[in-house]
Amino acid sequence: MPTVAIIGGQWGDEGKGKIIDLLAENAQMVVRFSGGDNAGHTVINPLGEFRMHLIPSGIFYPGTVCIISNGVVINPAVLLSELDGLQKHGLDVSHLFVSDRAHLIMPYHTLLDGLEEQSRGQGAIGTTKKGIGPAYADKSARLGIRAGDLLDRDFFRQRLRSVLEYKNKILTKVYEAQPLSLDEVYEQYCQYGERLAPFIRETASMTHEALERGELVLLEGAQGTLLDLDFGTYPYVTSSSPLAGSACIGSGLGPTRIDSILGVFKAYNTRVGAGPMPTELTDETGDRIREHAHEYGTTTGRPRRCGWFDAVLARYSVRINGFTGIALTRLDILDILPRLNICTAYRIDGQTHSTPPSNSALLERSQPVYEEIPGWQSDTSHIRRFDDLPKKAQAYVRRIEELAGCPVAIISVGPAREQSIMVRPIL
């Protein structure tokens, strides 16, 4: 009954899609458990290059059941266009299921995300404007509309009427925007409901049954630990929990059912959107990494901020998630650099800190303490065994393990499935 959770260890975009695509080959089920279409996974496999926002990367294996579970917020238009794109490539999507408990992103959520960001002015979070924050806020405020509601039109209309009455007051009176029409939203979502009906069901019991059959289940995280609502760089965070702990609540599994928790880290750091990033490189090296690695957002196309590997945050992330192994991605990107730095501590107002402060203004003031590591300056993208990596690359990986306090299980040296080094078993 093994269950493996795959979790972002940094600010998202760590390459979780590639790792899940790799592991899904042996899995019978992949469950996406949090976030929404703010996430973007690029998967490159023999069928082509795919940018996925909601559908689990396991969809490419016909025998793998894929679930979008209760913890996800779903924009039905995005889900349907992703389904259309896959079907155009001749892929069978009948093994995808959507939880009836998953909340829906409604038109007022996307509108309000944009309006709220605008009203924050200089203090804008830099959200993806996909309506994620407003949708999770409504879930907590008990104003949400769930996928299962679309299957009962009378109930859906009744619910939409009362929520929309309130949302229209906010749109018109707070933001002086146009109100939304009940009939138009209702009709549009009924059409979505009709198309999505074959996929919607109670999914937690499907996962329990898979585990009872002894199948391998992957829990696919979205975003990363430092974007977590509680433990991230608040308020510059997303509105859900990308942590391993949330894999249970977001999928309906008890904490005792998770056997292995793989933390995915890039071999350097990136961040998209506003908020502190102590190891950010605003110089030529940062630009070189961005261009060489094509560090631009999958969802918004925004340039990602690039920086050195931050071991203070990595150790924090390992502890908060209880990682049992690390998947270190994009090691090959560092092939071009003559010298590397790893941040081992912060200096804040004259004091040395080995854990990050919770106050984002203090984190903004943190001066990274660096350990310099010589670069290996040779191509690693063709290497498939740890012992074949240049000695200096091995030393870099070993130092990350030591500082983070967790063994490296997988190293990725390129986007293709085969460009992977299996260092130790994940289970």
Cis peptide before 56 (omega within 30 of 0): no
Q: How far is the CB of 339 from ligand IMP (least distance, A)?
A: 27
**Among the listed residues 59, 72, 132, 267, the single contact to ligand IMP using CB under 6 A:** 132
Question: Which whole-number Å values give the CA distances from 290 to 18, 302, 346, in the listed order?
Answer: 19, 11, 24
Q: Which stretch binds ligand IMP (CB under 6 A): 5-13, 140-148, 278-286, 348-356?
A: 5-13
**Strand 269-271 to 200-201 pairing:** unpaired
> Assign residue 405 a region: left if phi > 0, alpha if psi is -120 to 50, beta otherwise?
left
Q: How far is the CB of 347 from ligand IMP (least distance, A)?
A: 25
Q: How far is the CB of 117 from ligand IMP (least distance, A)?
A: 9
**Would you give the binding string for ligand IMP spanning residues 40-69, x where CB under 6 A is met?**
x-----------------------------
**Among the listed residues 73, 106, 147, 227, the single contact to ligand IMP using CB under 6 A:** 227
Q: Which stretch binds ligand IMP (CB under 6 A): 9-17, 94-102, 211-219, 259-267?
A: 9-17
167, 145 in Cβ contact below 8 A?
A: no
Q: How far is the CB of 133 from ligand IMP (least distance, A)?
A: 4
**Among the listed residues 3, 10, 28, 38, the single contact to ligand IMP using CB under 6 A:** 38
> Is 130 among the residues that bind ligand IMP (CB under 6 A)?
yes
- Residue 218's nearest CA partner among 371, 22, 424 is 22
280, 344 in Cβ contact below 8 A?
A: no
Q: Closer to ligand IMP at the Cβ: 107 or 273?
A: 273
**Among the listed residues 3, 4, 9, 13, the single contact to ligand IMP using CB under 6 A:** 13
374, 325 in Cβ contact below 8 A?
A: no
What is the Cα–Cα distance from 417 to 5, expressed in whole angstroms? 19
Number of H helices, E strands in the chain: 12, 20
Q: How far is the CB of 13 from ligand IMP (least distance, A)?
A: 5
Q: Closest residue to ligand IMP, Cβ-based?
A: 273
> Is 39 among the residues that bind ligand IMP (CB under 6 A)?
yes
Kind plus residue range of the DSSP H or E element containing 200: strand 200-201
- CA dihedral sign of residues 33, 53, 199, 105: positive
Q: Give how many residues touch ligand IMP by CB under 6 A.
A: 21
Q: How far is the CB of 234 from ligand IMP (least distance, A)?
A: 11
Q: Closer to ligand IMP at the Cβ: 36 or 58?
A: 36
Residues 6+ apart with CB under 8 A from 274: 124, 125, 126, 236
**Would you give the binding string for ligand IMP spanning residues 266-295, x where CB under 6 A is met?**
------xx----------------------
- The pair of structure tokens assigned to 67 is 């679930």
217, 4 in Cβ contact below 8 A?
A: yes
Residues 6+ apart with CB under 8 A from 379: 332, 335
- The pair of structure tokens assigned to 184 is 């138009």
**Among the listed residues 133, 278, 307, 368, the single contact to ligand IMP using CB under 6 A:** 133
Residue numbers 91-110 binding ligand IMP by CB under 6 A:
none
> Is 366 among the residues that bind ligand IMP (CB under 6 A)?
no
- The pair of structure tokens assigned to 6 is 């795959």
User: Exposed/middle/buried for 208, CB within 10 Å: 0-12, 13-18, 19+?
Assistant: middle
**Among the listed residues 125, 244, 318, 333, the single contact to ligand IMP using CB under 6 A:** 125
Residue numbers 385-424 binding ligand IMP by CB under 6 A:
none
Question: Which whole-number Å values give the CA distances from 280 to 24, 178, 368, 377, in the listed order?
Answer: 33, 40, 10, 22
Where in the sequence numbering do the catalytic residues fall?
13, 41
**Among the listed residues 70, 75, 128, 225, the single contact to ligand IMP using CB under 6 A:** 128
Binding site for ligand IMP (CB under 6 A): 11-13, 38-40, 125-128, 130, 132-133, 222-223, 227, 236, 238-239, 272-273
